[in-house]
């Protein structure tokens, strides 16, 4: 009798992989308007555009507010040519797992540490998680 070998399977992260603690009554969450031309995944670290208040993927080369980490996406969203008011982020009093965060490509360890401190300043703690 032979042994059947199945290929390894993996699941994408879900909210439980990312969000380890949040305050009661949705206090930690903000419904936000997502800027146009965004494809934000669960765990994406976002900044807030100063002029409009819209959130967008963290961009360390920007000078319009997107260079400062302000929250973490908990509902994936893709926007086309117009902003969408359907975004949801954790923006305060929450703990997220470091392995589930989505960072900009090419971010250095020093930049990541600075962004984690920016998240801490708004009340979102980043912890090592499994």
22-71 residue pLDDT tens: 999 999 999 999 999 999 999 999 999 999 999 999 999 999 999 999 99
Secondary structure letter of residue 44 according to DSSP: B
**pLDDT tens by residue, 33-44:** 999 999 999 999
**Are the C-beta atoms of 91 and 124 separated by less than 8 Å?**
yes
**Are the C-beta atoms of 76 and 41 separated by less than 8 Å?**
yes
Mean pLDDT calculated for residue range 103-107: 96
How far is 47 from 107, CA to CA, in rounded Å? Answer: 15
């Amino acid at each position: 009798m032979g042994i059947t070998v199945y290929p390894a399977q993996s699941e994408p992260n879900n909210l439980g992989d990312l969000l380890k603690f949040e305050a009661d009554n949705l206090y930690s969450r903000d419904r936000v308007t997502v800027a146009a031309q965004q494809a934000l995944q669960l765990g994406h670290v976002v900044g807030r555009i100063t002029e409009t208040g819209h959130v967008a993927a963290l961009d360390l080369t920007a000078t319009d507010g997107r260079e400062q980490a302000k929250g973490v996406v908990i509902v994936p969203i893709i926007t086309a040519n117009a902003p969408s008011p359907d975004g949801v982020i954790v923006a305060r009093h929450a703990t997220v797992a470091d392995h589930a965060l989505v960072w900009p490509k090419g971010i250095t360890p020093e930049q990541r540490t600075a962004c984690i401190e920016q998240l801490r300043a708004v009340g979102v703690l980043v912890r090592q998680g499994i």
